[in-house]
A and B are shown apart, each in its own frame.
Chain A
Amino acid sequence: MNDPALDPAFVDDATVVVDDVSVWFGQKVALSELSCSFGPGVTGLLGPNGAGKTTLMRVMCGLLRARRGGARVLGVDPRQSRDVQAHIALVPEEDAVPEALTPRQLAEYQATLGGVADRDAVERALAAVSLTDVADRRLGGFSKGMRQRAKVAAALVTDPRVLVLDEPLNGADPVQRVALIELFQRLGAAGRTVIVSSHVLHEVERLAERVVVIVHGRLAAAGDHRAIRDAMADRPRRVLLRSSDDRRLATGLLGLEQVVAVELAGGGLTVSTGNAGDLALALPHVSRDLGVRLREVRALDASLDSVFAEVTR
């Protein structure tokens, strides 16, 4: 159907490839013939609750066997190779950390499991999440956000090329959120494959260059979110305008062929158009000709939030 070379669900320099994966639990189909790939940089994995994101993450990390199809990490099936398992780390969503351990101990434990000899790896991991100062305090006394950071540190200790994070910002306060987002951006920029799932879309927008959207176990959309929006060509674009004379501008815009509807509400003017590009070209001229001053022009459905709402409808 789609040429994989051009399909935004796949990337050229893929480190993780998901190939026709199907998973079901009894009657419930969790994933259905899903194919996509992930590469260096940050990719957002999105979908409504229950869409299959967690299941996909577990398949990618080799924790779950797909009934059909499978995943490959750096070319190898993670279920078959212990070596490859060292290159992909999962930070799961559940808030289940051993409360008696300290972040340092948790990281050291992970290091031992992963056969990491370098003691500095633990310190670097702790420093990356800024937990060095409190590295020797019991996790039981931490807030949820700090426990998340400890889990990320433990995952980083083996220096994995692929980092899979399931809702890593859950419970993090505003300051911790910014710190974690910056961390993930750095990791992505350094060439690691970072796959993040989150429900807070405006943060994903800042963080991820690319998104993969799953709905009911199937691939619903993939790629840059603005490009996804453009791909939904059959749905009219909506643009919000604020000007010195909204009504006059509305009348003028209605005369344009590509304008489908105008709506005056909420201190502004919303234009629905079948062709956003043509509208954008015409707009400065129309406003100038009518002598109306433009104060604001904003595409209402360009945000990841509205793209997501459209895709998951």
Chain B
Amino acid sequence: MTAVDRAGRVYDRGYRPYDGELGGRAAARLALFRASVRRALGMRRSWRQKLFPWVLLAIATVPAVVNVGVAYLTRDQFEDAIEIITYREYVGVSTALLVFVGLTAPDVICPDRRHRMLPLLFSRPLTGADYVVAKVGAIAAIVFAFGFLPQVLLFVGQMLVSDAAIDYLTDNAEVLWQVPVAVALLALYYASLAVAIASFATRRIVAAAALLILLLVTSITAGILAGPEERHLPGAIDDGGSAWAAVNLLAAPLHVRDLVFEGEIVDGRLVGVAGGPAIALAVYLTVVGASLGTLLWRYRWVEA
């Protein structure tokens, strides 16, 4: 009988080198962005952490649902569809959204500092600027999504409920660019501010409190300084107004939002919110600039 050639081997499970793709800064930044988004939305964590963001999204969607619902139910009764809330108004400072930012921004920033994780992050192909971009981007992206999706719901709902969907679409075409831009500006504003404040705290609750207190205090201060009837910038939607309204950091992006919705370019100048636009833009740019600048300084991991 011939000996059958049988072979046996033991495979070394020791160490497998990696010879695949290894991305650089861009890949690292994107990965940090995605990891932060996951953390903010409670993914890969317990259901308790998921509850909070999704409940807020639901709350933010309520006005859209109500509006569409009412319009649908009364479609046969009235000539024009009832609008409980306009698109412009819907790009607002809903409490739900504010609470979301106030608690989520600290959640993606403070633990990194508290657990002293930053050396682990900065021993990877990531600079301080990358960190800032990824974190602010993550919060802004989520706020944008939570601000935008209900709007989509509202628009599509209104479209379907109206007598002629296509007509509705063409009549309200400018909303299609106004809403995303306004929501994006709002998202960037709150994200930068919240993340900048959070970068000074190691405990989430401290950062959240600091943000909410800042917004409340400036809001109240502006109200006091401007007088009870003048809580908006001059030339804003209604007449009157006071420049002191600019101090209200809580509402600053709303003025810029008004610019988006109501502003026009006449003779090469931006008008529509007479007297107000310059101040509104200035406040907005100052806050965002200062926040991002502070963050870049705070995370200047590489010494000169």
State if A and B touch, Cβ cutoff 8 Å. Answer: no
